[in-house]
Structure 1
Amino acid sequence: MRLTIRKKLIGSFLLTAFIFGIASFISFANLKSTQESYTYLLDTVSELRSINQEIDSLIGRQTSDLRGYLLYENETFLHDLRFNNSEIQRLIEEAKGLATLQETITRFDDVTVLNESFINEVERVITLVPTDKEQAILMTNQNIVPISRDMRDASSQLKDWLEDILEENEATTIQTSEAALRVVMIVSVLAFVIAIAGGIVVSNTISRPIMKMSALAREVASGNLAAERVNVKSKDEIRDLNQSFNQMTDNLKEILSNIAISSDQVAASSEQLNAGASESVRAADQITESIQSVASGAEKQVESTNTANEIASNISKGMDQIAKNVQSVTESTTLTQQKSKNGLVVIDKTVSQMNEINNKTDQISNVIMSLEGKSKEIGNIISLITAVSDQTNLLSLNAAIEAARAGEHGKGFAVVADEVRKLAVESNDSASKISQLIHDIQQDIQRSVTAMSEGNESVKEGLVYATEAGSEFTAISESISDILKQIEEVSTSIKQISLSTVTMVQSIDEASTIAENASAYSQNVAASAEEQMATMEEISASAETLSRMAEELQATVRKFNL
């Protein structure tokens, strides 16, 4: 079997590569397995952390929705609360589907239990709101708020648990990587030792025959073509090289013999070469003139392409500036749209508050109207008291007259009648004062009724204006959205124009480069033609010396030992 140098080298390299391959495969398999495990766990834990963060946010929202419902009794808050509660449950089920550790599933189950307790307590509180709102608030503070706090604590503990899992897995990954590194180092050292041993063996089988051939080559270089030949017996390329070298030596002997014969013919050919060189000089003159004309045209083309390149570059810079301005307008318009949306929200809140004020104003008006009716009833009663007082006063006068007629027997009765008259007068005076106060109160109530009516009308007008303002803000927001779409279309068009301009600049640069190269090539050709002329002249001169060189060559050949 022919064991060539190539096979020897390939065999030693393959052995080394095989050992390195085993080490690489082992390390790659370990690292890949570790990486896949770590990547899967990292992705899973990251997803679980994201879900847990969203659950934590929803816990706060549903608590806020409950407070909003208790404050305003708006069904929207109740609808949002139930939606957030069901969304928490959905996210928990999604997280349990991703989790692989039972401890993680158990922790999510704990949140599920608390979430169900939360919604159950909420339903109990909701039934109390219409009848006993204070009791509903008390139950919220005593039962629901602690559950919400426990849910937030469970979510926080779950977050810490997921971070601990990542830290443990990272430590395991580091240990696995270090073990794989140790295996690679051991196999690498083994491969290094084997490679050195194989290199020494292979180098000895190659270097010894080559040293013998090197000695023979020095003999041949000194002119001794009759030196003893070297015979290599190894079945590889060195034996082929040895045979080729021996053949080369024999061929060199034959060539030198032929050179001696050909040197005579060279002397005769030199004269013919001199004549041909003269003809080449004349042709080179004509070529030089043509090339110079081509070079002049190429230089003009280079100037034109440079001018076009400057124009295209200016266009490209202008388009970049336009794109920046459009981007600035887009940002300003987006900010304006956000402000208009915020204004619309404020107007909605204002309308809601004005509706509430309108309702309260109506209630106050009803109360004042009721007071007005009561004051009229009091006035009627005072009028009755006044009439009774007048009648009592009249009766007391009559009684005094009758007592005076009775003489001594009616004195006691006269005193009583006088006291009754005084009481009647005082009652009449008091009734008059009360009547005046009631009259003043009725006037104040009437003014209050008028003011409340005017205030109610103002509130209604404010509602109309606020509603119209909301409509205007909505129209503004829609207009801004249309403007944003148009700006996006303009921005897209500008980008396309900018890309086209860049392409045009590149094309002009390529054309300019080609023109410059053509000009340079033309100048090079002209220079080459001039050099060719000089060369032809040198050839003519060299032809004369060629004959002398042939004679010297014959003298040199005679120095070899053939």
Structure 2
Amino acid sequence: MKFSVSKKMWAGFLGLVLLLIVSGVLNYLTIPDIKQRYTYLIDDRLENVITLEQLATNQNEISNDLRGYLLYKQVNYLKDRRELLGNFNMSIERLAANFDDETAQALLQEIKVAAANYEELTAGAISAFHNGDNDEALRQAGKAEPYQSLISEKAKELINYQREQVETTQKQLDKRLQVTGFFILGVIVAATVISIVIATVISRSITRPVRKVTTSLKQLASGDFSMEPLRIKNRDEIGEMADAFNEMAADLRAIIGSTRQTAHELAAQAEELSASSEENLAASEMVAEIAEKNLISSDMQTNLVTESVSAMSEMTEGINQITNHNDAMLTSSEQVTLLVEDGSALMKEVTDQMSTISLSIQESAHVISQLAEHSENIRQVTHLITDIAEQTNLLALNAAIEAARAGEHGKGFAVVADEVRNLAEQSKQSATNIGRMIETIINNVALAVGSTEAGTEKIQEGLGITVRTSRVFIEIEGAVTEVKEKVQSVSAAILQIQQMTEQVQEGAAKVQELAAQSAAEAQSTSAATEEQLASNEEISSSAQSLSEAAEKLQSEMARFTI
């Protein structure tokens, strides 16, 4: 199967473009997925953890408001309790909408059932308290305490479960980022290696044969036809050009050898003709006596000139054949020039594609940097929550001190202060955990940005390689142009030889005509002695011209080495 230069370049470039397209498509598909997973991690998982902590806090505050109302009989505790119950139920509904797995739904359902039982018992306690039955109110409140503990316990379990889900999602994202980074890096390395291989293969398959042809053409231009035939194994346009060159060189050697031999024979025949003419001129007074000899000599001259004319005709046909081969080789060199130009255009397209992929990776790095900024904002919020928890803890401590000073009347308030302090400690601990998770996310995002920047550097290296490959194509194009110029020089030399051959052929034809005329006149020497003398003078002059032309042809043929 013929594998032309065009097919070689198309195969190499299509493979490289395919790798670049795969890299670009994978990058395009992976980055939105990673962004979505990070958004889900931050907006859903962490939001659920915060909502659960708020739910546990609300439940503790509801319990504290019940105690406060039973102890101090202030209506504002009931008002706060109703507001907290509304927030608690809204948190339950929000979590139910966000949870998408059975484990979380089951834990949330247990919290809902416990909350309903707690609400029912505490409502009964409040009703009994309104009716003045304090013992029944305390009994109902005591029965509600286990449900309060159950709600706190299940909320903690659900918070821990959500944190485990956050860690699992984080590990999956880390693995996905690592795999994506390795794959993109691998594609870039493969594209770089393939670019180098393509440049090397094309350079060796085109530049070396073209240099061989150029060297041989220089030998031909200098007149040296003794070179060995070109041995080029390429089965493409360059191989065809080399075959055409070998055929042309072989034909030129054969024609020049034949022409040189013919020139020697023609010179010898011209000398013989000149000598014969001089003898005829010197013996013109004795033409009648030697008419028969002169006739025989004229016949021999006619035959020799006819043979020379025939040889010159064959040489003219050979030169025409060489001209055709030379034209074919010129056409092949023009085709190679066009193919090299196409290759340069394809390399430009590859450079543009790699620039586009570089821009895409830079945009991906920008998106990941924005995710890092969002994570930093969340970390600031957690710091704020930590500060609020510390201040709340300090206030609870102060309240406990004041309750201790109040003595027996401050016991209920001391219980509330202790619960508030516990809640503040829990909020601080949760904010600290969230801060650690956000710190991990920021570090992973930084790693992703570094990987993307490394990919950008590799693509820039690939761009440099494609630029160097384009320079190689420019050098190849210059070499092919030089080959074309050398072929044109050879064409000019062949045209010059053809013109000289035509001149010699015209002289030989004229001599043939004169020899025939001399033979005819020899038959009637007795009646045209004067005419014979004039004819012999013309023959002598023509023979001298033929001898000079033969010497000139020999001089021209001496320039060539076969």
- TM-score, length-normalised on structure 1? 0.36
Greater radius of gyration (CA): 1
